[in-house]
Structure formats: structure tokens, C-alpha cells
């Protein structure tokens, strides 16, 4: 397994620092993964309490080992990030204005990609699993073997932005009638045949979009993120900050939309003064989405697709 390298670590530390300087600050790492960001933040802020969530029990075990030196300042919970309000309530934190910082490092983790048996990487022949939480029921194989062609095409189109979604879905339905899908190698071979050669030459690996779409559907990633962001933002106190790292355009658009909406005044146009309670709730801390520099990308290729956005709460949640 390759070394775990947290993406944009210095920038994450810089953006969250002003919110974590107060004594007894609380940070939620909503996707703690292998604990790289969390470890650095706990080291930088000796009074910080960390609430770390992850849906992958294997990742929690690894991060637990890494963060053990920080003692009782760490609370790790097996949960998806849309369960954040309930997690905070269970730990004795009020739901509104109880948190100083939130970090969300979205997408598939290094550990999940590197363990072939998890089925996330199209470069390795493995079982078609793709569950971030191995205790969940739905797998990529089940989607491929049971979804009607129209539903499968919808998943590929909506979550993979796949131009040839219908063509691929029809090919899958035809192929599974002879033999159900159980390995990524067979799916990759089908995709090579289904995607036109001209697109293969210019559009990257023909399996990339399909594998992304299947992973998002298996784990309900976009729906979970859509539910999670309001809960995370509501939990922030005034002066609290959120940092989100997204690795594909669907996630980044959703994050951009929610942050921009709360950073915009709700006072009707033409009203000369800001109406009470209608002002912006957030201040955007980044101009657009920030990307990793060339040096970091060379050292850590998985940083190439990152899009980082950050905001600070300036008005209490309504």
C-alpha cells in the first residue's frame, strides 16, 4: 500500500487555524479516513477536540491507531457524514453553533483504492464491490446484474456524465443474460468494446466514468452530501469555518451551490438596508475552487483532481 498523503494539507491547516485557536475548540472531520489531516490539526492545536466520522470501519481502525497519541481529545464514530447532527447530539454537543470547524475530504480514500479486493480501481481485476462500508448491502455487481437498462443508463449519465450511457447499459444487459457480472476485468473489457474508439483516444480511460457512477450509486454519495452540508453548516458557530475537498465535478457543483447560497443576501433587491436576519450567513474564503499546485500533484497524483472550497460563518444559523 502506498504512503497516505493528505491532499492540500498546508492549505487546510491555514484555512481552519483562525477558527481553532480558541481554547476547547471542536473540529468535525466528517471523512476522517486514515487520519492524515486530523493528526496534523490535532498536533497544531493542543486544545482541540476532534470528532471523526467515517463509514468505513477499516479506515476507522487505522485512523484510531494513528490518532491514539492524542488520547481523549479524539472521538471516532462509524457513521456517514449526513448523520453528523445525531453524532454531535450523542456526544453531548448542541446541534446549533457547537462546532468551530468542519473538514470534508470527499470521494474514495487511498486505502480503498489500494486494496484491490474492494473493487474501486478499474486498473485491477477484482470483485465488483465498491462499498465504502463493507457492512452495507448494495454492491456494484448487484447494480449491473439487476438494474433495468433505463435505470442503469440513468446512473451512468447522471453520476458518471457518460455520453454513451444508453449504449453501455444495453451492452451490460445483453452480456449479463449470458453470465452475471462479478469482476471488474470483464466490465472493463465490455467498456472498451462499447465506447467508440475515437472517444477512447481523447476522453481518457473508457472505464473511468462508469466506475465513478457505480461507486456513487453504491454509496449514495451525492444524496448523502446533499443532506450533510446543511447539517454541517448549521453546526458551525459564528466564526467557525468549513473546508471541503471535492474530487469530481458533481460534488464540487453541489458544494459551490450550497456555500454560495448562504453567502448571498436574502434581502429583496431594491431594499436600501439589509433586513434583520436576511444578511449572508457565510463569507467565502476562496475565490472559486482552489487546486493543488504542480509540485504537490507530482508528489501525490491523487491531488490532481481536487477542488477546495472554504467558508466562514458570519451570522447565526436561522
Binding residue per annotation — 29?
A: no
CB 141 within 8 A of CB 182: yes
The span from the CA of 51 to the CA of 76, in Å, is: 6
Q: Where are the alpha helices (DSSP H) in the chain?
A: 9-20, 36-44, 57-67, 84-90, 110-114, 140-146, 149-160, 165-178, 184-194, 197-202, 208-219, 221-235, 249-262, 294-299
Binding residue per annotation — 54?
A: yes
- The closest of 307, 318, 227, 229 to 265, measured between CA atoms, is 318
The residues with which 78 forms a beta bridge, in sequence order, are 54
User: Cell 474514495 sits at which residue?
Assistant: 108
SS3 135: coil
Binding residue per annotation — 122?
A: no
CB 138 within 8 A of CB 220: no
Q: Euclidean distance between the first and final Cα of the chain, in Å? A: 45
SS3 50: strand
Binding residue per annotation — 112?
A: yes
User: Cell 452495507 sits at which residue?
Assistant: 136
| Grid coordinates belonging to 225 | 452530501
Binding residue per annotation — 36?
A: yes
The CB density around residue 197, as the number of other CB atoms within 10 Å, is: 8
Binding residues for S-adenosyl-L-methionine: 35-37, 54, 81, 105, 112
Residue ranges for the binding site? 35-37, 54, 81, 105, 112
Amino acid at each position: 500500500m502506498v504512503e497516505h498523503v493528505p491532499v492540500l494539507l498546508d492549505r487546510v491547516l491555514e484555512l481552519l487555524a483562525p477558527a481553532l485557536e480558541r481554547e476547547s475548540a471542536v473540529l468535525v472531520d466528517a471523512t476522517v479516513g486514515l487520519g492524515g489531516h486530523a493528526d496534523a490539526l490535532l498536533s497544531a492545536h493542543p486544545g482541540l477536540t476532534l470528532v471523526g466520522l467515517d463509514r468505513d470501519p477499516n479506515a476507522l481502525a487505522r485512523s484510531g491507531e494513528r490518532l491514539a497519541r492524542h488520547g481523549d481529545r479524539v472521538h471516532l464514530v462509524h457513521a456517514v457524514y449526513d448523520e453528523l447532527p445525531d453524532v454531535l447530539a450523542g456526544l453531548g454537543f448542541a446541534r446549533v453553533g457547537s462546532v468551530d470547524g468542519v473538514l470534508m475530504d470527499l470521494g474514495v480514500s487511498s486505502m480503498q483504492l489500494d486494496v484491490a479486493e474492494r473493487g474501486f480501481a478499474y486498473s485491477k481485476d477484482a470483485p465488483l464491490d465498491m462499498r465504502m462500508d463493507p457492512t452495507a448491502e448494495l454492491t456494484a455487481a448487484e447494480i449491473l446484474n439487476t438494474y433495468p437498462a433505463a435505470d442503469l443508463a440513468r446512473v451512468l449519465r447522471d453520476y458518471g456524465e457518460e455520453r454513451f450511457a444508453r449504449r453501455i447499459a444495453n451492452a451490460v444487459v445483453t452480456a449479463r443474460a449470458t453470465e452475471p457480472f462479478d469482476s471488474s476485468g470483464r466490465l472493463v473489457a465490455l467498456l472498451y468494446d462499447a465506447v467508440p474508439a475515437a472517444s477512447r483516444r481523447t476522453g481518457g480511460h473508457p472505464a473511468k466514468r462508469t466506475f465513478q457512477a457505480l461507486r456513487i450509486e453504491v454509496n449514495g454519495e451525492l444524496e448523502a452530501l446533499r443532506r450533510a452540508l446543511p447539517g454541517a453548516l448549521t453546526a458551525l458557530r459564528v466564526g467557525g469555518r468549513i473546508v471541503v475537498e471535492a474530487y469530481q465535478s458533481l460534488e464540487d457543483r453541489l458544494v459551490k451551490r450550497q456555500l454560495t447560497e448562504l453567502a448571498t443576501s436574502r434581502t429583496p433587491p431594491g431594499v436600501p438596508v439589509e433586513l434583520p436576519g436576511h444578511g449572508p450567513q457565510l463569507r467565502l474564503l476562496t475565490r472559486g475552487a482552489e487546486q493543488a499546485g504542480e509540485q504537490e500533484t507530482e508528489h501525490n497524483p491523487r491531488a490532481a483532481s481536487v477542488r477546495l472550497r472554504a467558508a466562514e460563518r458570519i451570522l447565526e444559523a436561522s
